[in-house]
Structure 1
Amino acid sequence: MANLVSVERASLALGTTQVLDAVSLGVAGGDRIGVVGRNGGGKTTLLRVIAGSREVDDGRVARTTGLRTGVLTQDDTLDPAARVRDVVLGGLAEHEWAAVPRVRDVLTGLLGGLDAPVVGGLDAPVGPLSGGERRRVALAALLVDGPDLLLLDEPTNHLDVEGVAWLAEHLAGVHARPDTALVVITHDRWFLDAVATRTWEVESGGVHQYEGGYAAFVLAKAERERMAGVVADRRDNLLRKELAWLRRGPPARTSKPKFRIDAANALIADEPEPRDDVELMRFASTRLGKDVVDLLDATLTVGDRTLVERFTWRLGPGDRVGLVGVNGAGKSTLLRALAGEVPLAAGKRRVGVTVRVAFLTQEVRELDAWAGRRVIQAVEAVRSTVRLGRKELSASQLAQRLGFTGPRQQTRVGDLSGGERRRLQLTRLLMDEPNVLLLDEPTNDLDIETLTSLEDVLDGWAGTLVVVSHDRYLLERVCSRQLALLGDGRLRDLPGGVEEYLRLRHGMVESGRGARDLPAADAPAPDDGSEATGPSPAQVREARKAMARVERQLSRLAEREQRIHAAMADAATDHQRVADLNRELREVAGEREGLELEWLEAAEVDG
Structure 2
Amino acid sequence: MPPLIVAEKVHVAFPTAGPVLRDVTLGLAEGDRVGVVGRNGDGKSTLLRVLAHELEPDSGRVTWRRDLAVGYVDQSDVLDPAATVRDAVVGDALDHEWAGDARTRDIVSGLVPPDVAWEARIGELSGGQRRRVALASVLARSWDVLVLDEPTNHLDLDAVVWLAGHLRQRWPAGSGALAVITHDRWFLDEVCTTTWEVHDGTVDAFEGGYAAYVLQRVERDRQAAASEARRQNLMRKELAWLRRGAPARTSKPKFRIDAANELIGREPPVRDGVELTQLATARLGKDVVDLLDVDVDLPDGRPVLRDIEWRIGPGERTGILGVNGAGKSTLLGLVTGDVAASRGRVKRGKTVEVAVLSQSLHELDDVAEERVSDLVGRQRATYVAGGKELTPGQLLERLGFRTQQLSTPIKDLSGGQRRRLQLLLILLAEPNVLILDEPTNDMDTDMLTAIEDLLDTWPGTLLVVSHDRYLLERVTDQQYAILDGRLRHLPGGVDEYLVLREKQEQERDSAAGAPRGVSQSEQSGLSGAERRSVQKDIASLERRMEKLSASVDALHAWLAAHDQSDYEGLQRHTEELRTVEDEIARLEERWLELSESLD
Coarse TM-score class (shorter-chain normalised): 0.7 to 0.9
- Separation in structure 1 between the aligned mates of residue 95 and residue 201 of structure 2, nearest angstrom: 47
Name which of structure 1's ranges 195-204 and 447-456 shifts more when overlaid on structure 2. Answer: 447-456
Aligned match of 2:31? 30
Name which of structure 1's ranges 372-381 and 416-425 shifts more when overlaid on structure 2. Answer: 372-381
Aligned match of 1:203? 199
Q: Judge conservation of contact 1:376–1:399 (CA < 8 Å) in 2.
A: no
1:351 matched to 2:352? The reply is: no
Aligned match of 2:80? 79
Tell me, what secondary structure is at the counterpart of 1:453? helix
Task: Give the aligned length.
Answer: 463
Q: Judge conservation of contact 2:386–2:457 (CA < 8 Å) in 1.
A: no
Tell me by how many angstroms 1:96 deviates. Answer: 0.1
User: What code does the residue aligned with 1:374 have?
Assistant: R
Name which of structure 1's ranges 26-35 and 342-351 shifts more when overlaid on structure 2. Answer: 342-351
1:342 matched to 2:339? The reply is: yes
Change (3 A) 1:378 1:205: same
Percent identical across equivalent pairs? 53
- Separation in structure 1 between the aligned mates of residue 307 and residue 99 of structure 2, nearest angstrom: 43
- Separation in structure 2 between the aligned mates of residue 169 and residue 391 of structure 1, nearest angstrom: 44
Tell me by how many angstroms 1:502 deviates. Answer: 0.6
User: What code does the residue aligned with 1:43 have?
Assistant: K
- Separation in structure 2 between the aligned mates of residue 192 and residue 378 of structure 1, nearest angstrom: 37
Tell me, what secondary structure is at the counterpart of 2:284? coil
Long gaps (5+) in structure 2: 230-274, 511-599
Aligned match of 1:536? none
Q: Judge conservation of contact 2:10–2:24 (CA < 8 Å) in 1.
A: yes
- Separation in structure 2 between the aligned mates of residue 192 and residue 388 of structure 1, nearest angstrom: 30
Alignment of 1:504-543 (within 5 A): 504-513=500-509
Change (3 A) 1:386 1:290: closer
Q: Judge conservation of contact 1:293–1:338 (CA < 8 Å) in 2.
A: yes
- Separation in structure 2 between the aligned mates of residue 321 and residue 174 of structure 1, nearest angstrom: 35
1:6 matched to 2:6? The reply is: yes
- Separation in structure 1 between the aligned mates of residue 100 and residue 154 of structure 2, nearest angstrom: 29
Aligned-residue CA RMSD in angstroms?
2.6
Residues 211-247 of structure 1: CA deviation (Å, up to 9, x unaligned): 11111111111111111107999xxxxxxxxxxxxxx
User: What code does the residue aligned with 2:400 have?
Assistant: G
- Separation in structure 1 between the aligned mates of residue 228 and residue 188 of structure 2, nearest angstrom: 31
Query: Which of 326, 330, 338 is the matching residue for 1:329?
Result: 326
1:466 matched to 2:467? The reply is: no
Tell me, what secondary structure is at the counterpart of 1:201? strand
Change (3 A) 1:374 1:306: farther
Tell me, what secondary structure is at the counterpart of 2:47? helix
- Separation in structure 1 between the aligned mates of residue 226 and residue 487 of structure 2, nearest angstrom: 52
Alignment of 1:416-565 (within 5 A): 416-486=413-483, 488-513=484-509
Aligned match of 1:90? 91
Change (3 A) 1:325 1:391: closer
1:194 matched to 2:195? The reply is: no
Tell me by how many angstroms 1:175 deviates. Answer: 4.1
Change (3 A) 1:367 1:175: farther
- Separation in structure 2 between the aligned mates of residue 377 and residue 79 of structure 1, nearest angstrom: 44
Residues 497-517 of structure 1: CA deviation (Å, up to 9, x unaligned): 111111111123345448xxx
- Separation in structure 2 between the aligned mates of residue 379 and residue 231 of structure 1, nearest angstrom: 28
User: What code does the residue aligned with 1:422 have?
Assistant: R
Aligned match of 1:406? 403
Query: Which of 129, 132, 144 is the matching residue for 1:133?
Result: 129
User: What code does the residue aligned with 2:409 have?
Assistant: R
User: What code does the residue aligned with 1:70 have?
Assistant: G
Tell me by how many angstroms 1:170 deviates. Answer: 0.4
- Separation in structure 1 between the aligned mates of residue 390 and residue 314 of structure 2, nearest angstrom: 29
User: What code does the residue aligned with 1:170 have?
Assistant: H
User: What code does the residue aligned with 2:422 have?
Assistant: Q
Tell me by how many angstroms 1:434 deviates. Answer: 1.8
Change (3 A) 1:300 1:382: farther
Tell me, what secondary structure is at the counterpart of 1:492? strand
1:49 matched to 2:50? The reply is: yes
Change (3 A) 1:230 1:511: closer
Residues 305-352 of structure 1: CA deviation (Å, up to 9, x unaligned): 432123222111121111011112121232233112233333332211
Tell me by how many angstroms 1:90 deviates. Answer: 0.5
Aligned match of 1:310? 307
Tell me, what secondary structure is at the counterpart of 2:154? coil
Query: Which of 274, 278, 283 is the matching residue for 1:287?
Result: 283
Alignment of 1:243-282 (within 5 A): none
Tell me by how many angstroms 1:435 deviates. Answer: 1.6
Change (3 A) 1:93 1:390: closer
Change (3 A) 1:68 1:230: closer
Residues 76-105 of structure 1: CA deviation (Å, up to 9, x unaligned): 122222111011110111100011110011
Q: Judge conservation of contact 1:161–1:470 (CA < 8 Å) in 2.
A: yes
Tell me, what secondary structure is at the counterpart of 2:122? coil
